Amino acid sequence: MRPKLTLKQIARELDVSISTVSKALKDSPEIGEDTKQKIKAFAKLYNYKPNNIALSLKNRKTKTIGIIIPEIVHYFFTTVISGVEQVANEKGYNVIVCLSNNSFDREVLNLDLLANGSTDGFILSLAKETMQKEDYHHLTEVINQGMPVVLFDRVVDEVHCDKVIIDDIIGAKKAVEHLIETGCKKIGILTTVDYVSVGKLRTRGYIEALEENDYPVDEDLILKIEDMENSEKEIGEFLKTRDVDGLFAVNEQFAVSAIGALRRQGRNVPEDVSVVGFTDGELSKNFIPSLTTVSQHGTRMGAEAAHLLIDKLERKPDEVESYKTVIVETSLVRRESTKN
Amino acid sequence: MRPKLTLKQIARELDVSISTVSKALKDSPEIGEDTKQKIKAFAKLYNYKPNNIALSLKNRKTKTIGIIIPEIVHYFFTTVISGVEQVANEKGYNVIVCLSNNSFDREVLNLDLLANGSTDGFILSLAKETMQKEDYHHLTEVINQGMPVVLFDRVVDEVHCDKVIIDDIIGAKKAVEHLIETGCKKIGILTTVDYVSVGKLRTRGYIEALEENDYPVDEDLILKIEDMENSEKEIGEFLKTRDVDGLFAVNEQFAVSAIGALRRQGRNVPEDVSVVGFTDGELSKNFIPSLTTVSQHGTRMGAEAAHLLIDKLERKPDEVESYKTVIVETSLVRRESTKN
Dist. CA B103–CA B109, nearest whole Å: 10
pLDDT at B1: 38
The interface predicted TM-score of the complex, written ipTM, equals 0.77
pLDDT at B19: 85
Instruction: Kindly give the parts of chain B with pLDDT less than 70.
Output: 1-5, 47, 49-60, 195-196
pLDDT of A4 higher than 60: no
pLDDT at B69: 96
Q: For all residues of chain B together, what is the average pLDDT?
A: 89
pLDDT at A59: 55
pLDDT of A1 higher than 50: no
**CATH fit for domain A168-296, picks 3.40.50.2300, 3.40.50.970, 3.30.70.260, 2.120.10.30:** 3.40.50.2300
H helical segments located in A190-322: 197-212, 231-240, 252-264, 282-286, 298-313
* Cβ–Cβ contact A110 with B under 8 A: yes
Residue of A nearest to B79 (CA): A73
| Full 3-state SS string of B67-134 | EEECCCCCHHHHHHHHHHHHHHHHCCCEEEEEECCCCHHHHHHHHHHHHCCCCCEEEECCCHHHHHHC
Strands A331-333 and A292-295: antiparallel
B13, B99, B314, B336: best to mutate for the A interface, most A CBs within 10 A: B99
> Which residues on neighbouring strands pair with residue B333, listed in sequence order?
B293
* Cβ–Cβ contact A78 with B under 8 A: yes
Q: For all residues of chain A together, what is the average pLDDT?
A: 89
For chain B, the structural domain boundaries read: 7-50, 62-165+298-328, 168-296
CB B269 within 8 A of CB B249: no
Task: Look up residue A315 and give its amino acid.
Answer: R
CB A163 within 8 A of CB A152: yes
Question: Smallest Cα–Cα separation from B287: which of A139, A259, A288?
Answer: A288
* Cβ–Cβ contact A118 with B under 8 A: yes
Given this chain, do its domains B62-165+298-328 and B168-296 carry the same CATH topology? yes
CB-based contact B78 A99, cutoff 8 Å: no
pLDDT-above-90 percentage for chain A: 58
Q: Which residue has the higher pLDDT, A207 or B36?
A: A207
pLDDT digits (tens, 9 = 90+) for A319-332: 777 899 999 999 99
* Cβ–Cβ contact B81 with A under 8 A: yes
pLDDT at A259: 94
The pTM assigned to this predicted structure is 0.80
* Residue B293 parent element (H or E): strand B292-295
pLDDT at B309: 96
pLDDT at B2: 45
CB-based contact A288 B260, cutoff 8 Å: yes
CB-based contact A109 B95, cutoff 8 Å: no
* Cβ–Cβ contact A79 with B under 8 A: yes
- CA A141, distance to chain mean position in Å, is 21
The CATH class that applies to domain A62-165+298-328 reads alpha beta
CB-based contact B73 A78, cutoff 8 Å: yes
pLDDT at B53: 58
Count of CB contacts below 8 A, A vs B? 102
Q: What band does A2 get if pLDDT is binned at 50, 70 and 90?
A: very low
